[in-house]
Structure 1
Amino acid sequence: MLRHAATVLLLRDGPEGVEVLLTRRHQKLAFLGGLWVFPGGALSTTDFSPPTLQRIPPASQAACARLASPYGEPLLREQCLGLSVAACRETFEESGVLLASTADGVPCSQAQTARLQASRRTIAAQPECFASLLKEESLFLEVDRLIYWAHWITPSLAPKRFDTRFFLAAVPPGQTSMIDDVETVEQAWMRPAALVAAKTAGTLPIATPTLCTTIELIAALQEHTTLSALLSAEARRNVIPMMPKILPGTRTVIMPWDPEYPDIPGEGISPEHELPAVLRSLAPRVTYGGS
Structure 2
Amino acid sequence: MLLLRDSPHGPEVLMTRRADKANFAAGAYVFPGGAIDPTDHDAHGIAVHRPQQTGHVLTQAIAAIRECFEEMGVLLAYRADGSMADAQDVAALDRIPPTGENFTSQCAARGLQLAADQLRHFARWIADPANPKRFDTAFFVVRMPEGQVPVADDTEQFEPVWLRPVEALERHKAGTFLLIFPTIRTLERLSLHADVAAIVAVCAGEEPLTYNATRSGMLRGELTRLTGGDAGYGDVALISPDAQVVPVLDWQHETPVPLLKNVTRLTLPDGVNRYQVGDAATGYVAVQPGVSSSEPLILAGPEATHTLSLLQMQSGKPAGLLLQEDGLLFSCPGIELDPELAKLCADHRIGFVLPAAGYVKVAKSR
The AA in structure 2 aligned to 1:254 is R
**For the structure 1 residues 62 and 104, does the alpha-carbon distance in structure 2 shift closer, same or farther, using more than 3 Å as the test?**
farther
**For the structure 1 residues 61 and 130, does the alpha-carbon distance in structure 2 shift closer, same or farther, using more than 3 Å as the test?**
farther
Q: Is the 8 A contact 2:3 2:144 kept in 1?
A: yes
RMSD value, Cα: 2.6
Correspondent of 1:198 among 171, 174, 177: 171
Q: Which region of structure 1 is more displaced relative to structure 2, 34-43 or 16-25?
A: 16-25
Equivalent residue for 2:196? 227
**For the structure 1 residues 83 and 238, does the alpha-carbon distance in structure 2 shift closer, same or farther, using more than 3 Å as the test?**
closer
Q: Secondary structure at the match of 1:97?
A: coil
Higher RCO (CA 8 Å, separation ≥ 6 residues): 1
The AA in structure 1 aligned to 2:215 is K
Equivalent residue for 1:62? 51
Identity %: 33
Structure holding more strand per residue: 2
For 1:10-67, what per-residue CA distance to the aligned partner results, in whole angstroms no more than 9, with x for missing partners? 0112343321100101101111111110001011222112xx111113xx25142xxx
**For the structure 1 residues 40 and 273, does the alpha-carbon distance in structure 2 shift closer, same or farther, using more than 3 Å as the test?**
same
**For the structure 1 residues 258 and 264, does the alpha-carbon distance in structure 2 shift closer, same or farther, using more than 3 Å as the test?**
farther
1:238 CA displacement? 5.2
Q: Is the 8 A contact 1:240 1:273 kept in 2?
A: no
Q: TM-score, normalised by structure 1?
A: 0.75
**For the structure 1 residues 103 and 233, does the alpha-carbon distance in structure 2 shift closer, same or farther, using more than 3 Å as the test?**
farther
Q: Which region of structure 1 is more displaced relative to structure 2, 128-137 or 261-270?
A: 261-270
Looking at structure 2, the residues matched to 231 and 86 of structure 1 have their Cα atoms a distance apart, in angstroms, of: 20
- Structure 1 unaligned spans of 5+: 1-7, 65-76, 275-291
Q: TM-score, normalised by structure 2?
A: 0.61
Q: Is the 8 A contact 1:155 1:267 kept in 2?
A: no
Equivalent residue for 2:190? 217
- Structure 2 unaligned spans of 5+: 244-350, 353-361
Looking at structure 1, the residues matched to 125 and 190 of structure 2 have their Cα atoms a distance apart, in angstroms, of: 15
Equivalent residue for 1:25? 18
Is 1:39 equivalent to 2:32 in the alignment?
yes
Looking at structure 1, the residues matched to 201 and 164 of structure 2 have their Cα atoms a distance apart, in angstroms, of: 20
1:232 CA displacement? 3.5
Q: Is the 8 A contact 2:17 2:30 kept in 1?
A: yes
Structure holding more helix per residue: 1
Equivalent residue for 1:261? 236
1:244 CA displacement? 1.4
**For the structure 1 residues 188 and 45, does the alpha-carbon distance in structure 2 shift closer, same or farther, using more than 3 Å as the test?**
same
